[in-house]
Amino acid sequence: MIQPDSYIRSLLKRAPGDTVVAQGWVKTRRDGKNVHFVQLNDGSSPVDLQVVLDAGVAPGDVVARITTGACLSVEGELVASPGKGQAVELKARALTVHGAASPEEYPLQKKKHTLETLREIGHLRPRSNTFGAVFRVRNALTGAIHKFFQDRGFLYLHTPVISTSDAEGAGSMFQVTALDLDGLSRSGRPADFEQDFFKRRAYLTVSGQLEAEIFAHAFANVYTFGPTFRAENSNTPRHLAEFYMIEPEMAFCDLRDNQDLAEAFLKSQVEQVISACRPDLEFLSKWYDPDLFKNLEGLLSQSFERITYTEAIALLGKAGRNWEFPVHWGADLQSEHERYLTEELLLKPVIVTDYPLEIKAFYMRVNEDEKTVAAMDVLVPRIGEIIGGSQREERYDVLRDKIRAMAAHGMKEESYWWYLDLRRFGGVKHAGFGMGFERMMMYLTGMKNIRDVIPFPRTPGNAEF
Amino acid sequence: MIQPDSYIRSLLKRAPGDTVVAQGWVKTRRDGKNVHFVQLNDGSSPVDLQVVLDAGVAPGDVVARITTGACLSVEGELVASPGKGQAVELKARALTVHGAASPEEYPLQKKKHTLETLREIGHLRPRSNTFGAVFRVRNALTGAIHKFFQDRGFLYLHTPVISTSDAEGAGSMFQVTALDLDGLSRSGRPADFEQDFFKRRAYLTVSGQLEAEIFAHAFANVYTFGPTFRAENSNTPRHLAEFYMIEPEMAFCDLRDNQDLAEAFLKSQVEQVISACRPDLEFLSKWYDPDLFKNLEGLLSQSFERITYTEAIALLGKAGRNWEFPVHWGADLQSEHERYLTEELLLKPVIVTDYPLEIKAFYMRVNEDEKTVAAMDVLVPRIGEIIGGSQREERYDVLRDKIRAMAAHGMKEESYWWYLDLRRFGGVKHAGFGMGFERMMMYLTGMKNIRDVIPFPRTPGNAEF
């Protein structure tokens, strides 16, 4: 097993003269006169370790197996490197090929592949430079998120993946069943979910918010970070059927505190990931988005603009554009509107608040005007909406009446008994938001297709690996 | 929003004389002559803050609403406390009741409830002392696990929740579908999964191991930490339908390294959680398991015993017991055998290795004797098996032949094309293990029912909240 001081990332920082063992996979090999140069990588760094293998150190049949993709252990001495971009290289004294990779068959050869092609070989793409960088950023971002909340004393909780409530009517849900579906169709009888595992219909969760509210009424500041699901048939570069959400929820918190937290949260993630993964971001910027650092540093250096929905509608009306989706008070903001505000008009992240009651979820707190709710969406350049949140309706009567009014849309008051109970017993103003983790990954890496920032994407017709 | 320096945990450490605002929920109130004593808690600490409310500070109708479960903000001055168990108490100058909790209706009154009763009110039990402690430990344990692996340079990855392969035949799986099941049963036609969301049958994952192996062949040392599922109709105190697993996977790693890592991992978790949550563990020990610290410290102070399955069978044969499940070479170890070894015979954690090939999963590496595989189970007192792992079969031919031999059991070679590819392209010896997170929670907290260590348990017939 590779120990911390033997990762290639660590070896590259060590002093010439040290005897070490390097282990990893061959990126490329080129041959000089009486010498072979092997670029070795173990996934710990975007920079390879150059192995210098003098002729005669390994027998010819071993050398023949040192091709792109092969797995090696190399023992030798670190020496000062004459090449640029690395301080040391490894002069091999002994070498083992653990597993070869036939050049005729190994799909991940040196030549550059399209991202589409790499998706087809999801079991090999983590070894590419691009996905090495992406998944190191993903690891660092996960850590940054936990650090942000833990530093503030938030309690992390796992909300359930299997749910029996269509929490907020947030979209199409996958059904989860242990019934024999072949038997069901043969039987010709109606499905009897009383006989199913949970004795009723069960779904994959679309949000952990309602359960997070439970915990916020006991631990004050809490957050979730887990998988969520949508069974929407959206074959776009921005949608996944399975993706990750972070959902903080805070008691004693109003919409203003909520905005402050969201802004601090986004800035902290960018700052921590730049600090942990600068070489990876530099690689990604070079190949995928020359403006990456400009965008990230722009987010760090500016205060987010805060405007109400009503102000946003006025600004959009004055834009002098032919919008695909017409702009009027009461209409939801579409991607074209959001991106205009953040990318063209205000040139910075924007928080839009206080949306019309009719277009937002039932749990959002009704404002004094009784026409809007204390909602907020955070928009950033290039991505659009990256965070959505609200202050929650904490008034028992108001919430109960809203649920009752939605009975025609299939909402059942009795399904929300525990959610209503939070307002009967020690209720308090509270607020929270959700951030799509993969949206943030796209923002941080400059990748343009959401399938390229998650290890194994699930999309319509696709759940390989 | 409560800021880090204003959690009750922080207030309890501050100096007398400070003016502060405390916010939280009332645990209890008792009345003296011209004074009320209110125990306030915000979930940050097992110790409440005592609020001293002199008569006249708040009007009578406000005081009347200060009952168990009510939510308050209290402004006042910290003063030295004459009581024991706390250095300071809060002398109230002003007080707001955000939400009352009618003593006639609020179910979580002062009297001690059974854990069974508390399960019925899963939306309120986080406010109880017991579940406050349990979920603080759960939060700390999650952090400890990430810290252990990140300190060693492991890459964290999210393996998919929705899977199209019955990975290892590890047990009954939940099916995931977007088909209209009511329509399906009415149609009388066979279910056509070509028409389903993923164009084939899809399931909830039982393990992320196979996908973690992909990443171990790119990043060397990796781990997962996510939800896994079993549709087994097991109504026991040890089984959940939805639970969390941690699965590290390491390239360049054999069974011995794997055992070393598992032992270091368990010790690190215990050490970190004792350090982060000693007052919570003391509370849990007092009420649920007087031997808790003895067990935990026993694990820390001893080297784990390491024996082979063959040795274990010999020891069990010499035990002079009437086993419910007879002991003979080739039979799997049952809970009674595991617990005898660790609790009665060896009195310490035990790692049993090298199990018969026939009773272990297809991916485990065949030993030279061709009768056993390089498997390991880690057994600890009171829990039994807490970790299961193996060195993986890295030899392409051996693995392919094993998969082919299981064709009669429904295994299809073509489903494992990518898993076999890992052995064709840069393969290397590698190993890993899985730890059930909730089993570890039971071990750490002394709780005896697995439903009491997860926020919202999913079990047969039960997916409320």
B295 SS3 class? helix
- Is the model's pLDDT at A284 over the cut of 60? yes
ipTM comes to 0.97
For residue A48, what is the DSSP state?
Answer: P
Residue pLDDT, tens place only, A109-124 = 877 789 999 999 999 9
A291: tokens are 């403006």
State the nearest Cα–Cα gap between A313 and chain B, in angstroms: 30
Determine the Cα–Cα distance for residues B418 and B77; give it in Å rounded to an integer: 65
Vertex A378: Cα angle to A375 and A380 (nearest 5): 160
DSSP string, A21-45: EEEEEEEEEEEETTEEEEEEE-SS-
A189 SS3 class? coil
Using a CB–CB cutoff of 8 Å, tell me whether B460 touches chain A.
yes
* A143, A197, A427 ranked by CB distance to B231: nearest: A197
Q: Name the amino acid, one letter, at B20.
A: V
If contacts are CB pairs under 8 Å, which of residues 291-310 in chain B contact chain A? none
Q: Do A424 and B102 touch (CB under 8 A)?
A: yes
* A221, A418, A426 ranked by CB distance to B70: nearest: A426
A306, burial (CB in 10 Å: exposed 0-12, middle 13-18, buried 19+): middle
Q: Do B2 and A252 touch (CB under 8 A)?
A: yes
- Is the model's pLDDT at A166 over the cut of 70? no
Using a CB–CB cutoff of 8 Å, tell me whether A138 touches chain B.
yes
Q: Name the amino acid, one letter, at B245.
A: M
Determine the Cα–Cα distance for residues B359 and B390; give it in Å rounded to an integer: 13
* B43, B101, B179 ranked by CB distance to A218: nearest: B43
Determine the Cα–Cα distance for residues B164 and A118; give it in Å rounded to an integer: 20
Using a CB–CB cutoff of 8 Å, tell me whether A175 touches chain B.
yes
Q: Do B425 and A105 touch (CB under 8 A)?
A: yes
Question: Phi, psi at residue B395, to the nearest 5°?
Answer: -85, 120
Determine the Cα–Cα distance for residues B307 and B266; give it in Å rounded to an integer: 18
Using a CB–CB cutoff of 8 Å, tell me whether A200 touches chain B.
yes
A428: tokens are 């308090």
- Mean pLDDT score of chain A: 95
Are B299 and B266 spatial neighbours (Cβ–Cβ below 8 Å)?
yes
State the nearest Cα–Cα gap between B315 and chain A, in angstroms: 32
Q: What is the CA radius of gyration of chain B?
A: 27
Mutating which of B154, B219, B397, B419 best tests the A interface, going by the most A Cβ atoms within 10 A? B219
Torsion of CA B257, B259, B261, B263, to 10 degrees: -150
Question: Which H or E element spans position A137?
Answer: helix A129-151
Q: Do A461 and B106 touch (CB under 8 A)?
A: no
Q: Do B463 and A160 touch (CB under 8 A)?
A: yes
Using a CB–CB cutoff of 8 Å, tell me whether A242 touches chain B.
yes
State the nearest Cα–Cα gap between B56 and chain A, in angstroms: 23
Q: What is the pLDDT of residue B170?
A: 52
Token match 């970190």: residue? B272
State the nearest Cα–Cα gap between A410 and chain B, in angstroms: 17
Using a CB–CB cutoff of 8 Å, tell me whether B199 touches chain A.
yes
B87 φψ region: left (φ > 0), alpha (ψ -120 to 50), beta (else): alpha
Q: What is the pLDDT of residue B166?
A: 62
Q: What is the pLDDT of residue A27?
A: 97
Using a CB–CB cutoff of 8 Å, tell me whether B376 touches chain A.
no
Q: Do B426 and A69 touch (CB under 8 A)?
A: yes
Q: What is the pLDDT of residue B161?
A: 98
- From A192, A178, A223, A415, select the one nearest B241 (Cα to Cα): A178
Chain B environment of A276 (Cβ under 8 Å): none
A239: tokens are 């949608």
What percentage of chain B has pLDDT greater than the value 70? 99
Q: Which residues contact A461 (CB under 8 A, 6 or more apart)?
A: B197, B198, B199
Chain B environment of A227 (Cβ under 8 Å): 158, 161, 226-227
Q: What is the pLDDT of residue B412?
A: 87
Q: Do A220 and B463 touch (CB under 8 A)?
A: no
Determine the Cα–Cα distance for residues B345 and B320; give it in Å rounded to an integer: 12
Measured from the Cβ of residue A280, the count of other Cβ atoms closer than 10 Å reads: 23
C-alpha pair distances (Å), A426 with each of B4, B13, B24, B103: 22, 26, 9, 11
- Measured between its terminal Cα atoms, the distance across chain A in Å is 25
Residue pLDDT, tens place only, A363-377 = 999 999 999 999 999
* B98, B153, B463 ranked by CB distance to A164: nearest: B463
Q: Do B132 and A197 touch (CB under 8 A)?
A: no
Using a CB–CB cutoff of 8 Å, tell me whether B422 touches chain A.
yes
3-state SS track over B88-126: EEEEEEEEEEEECCCCCCCCCCCCCCCHHHHHHCCCCHH
- From A232, A220, A224, A230, select the one nearest A208 (Cα to Cα): A224
Q: What is the pLDDT of residue A169?
A: 53
- Is the model's pLDDT at A16 over the cut of 70? yes
Helix count and strand count (H, E) for chain B = 13, 16
Q: Do A465 and B214 touch (CB under 8 A)?
A: yes
Are B97 and B72 spatial neighbours (Cβ–Cβ below 8 Å)?
yes
Question: Phi, psi at residue A147, to the nearest 5°?
Answer: -60, -45
If contacts are CB pairs under 8 Å, which of residues 248-277 in chain A contact chain B? 250-253, 257, 261
* Sign of the dihedral through C-alpha A255, A257, A260, A266: negative
C-alpha pair distances (Å), B266 with each of A350, B273, B302, B386: 45, 11, 12, 9
Using a CB–CB cutoff of 8 Å, tell me whether B101 touches chain A.
yes
Instruction: Enumerate residue ranges in chain B where pLDDT < 70.
Output: 166-171
State the nearest Cα–Cα gap between A286 and chain B, in angstroms: 22
Residue pLDDT, tens place only, B104-123 = 999 998 777 899 999 999 99
Q: What is the pLDDT of residue A407?
A: 86
Using a CB–CB cutoff of 8 Å, tell me whether B166 touches chain A.
no
Length of chain A: 465
- From B408, B426, B430, B406, select the one nearest B416 (Cα to Cα): B406
Mutating which of B425, B438, B453 best tests the A interface, going by the most A Cβ atoms within 10 A? B425
Q: Do A455 and B215 touch (CB under 8 A)?
A: yes
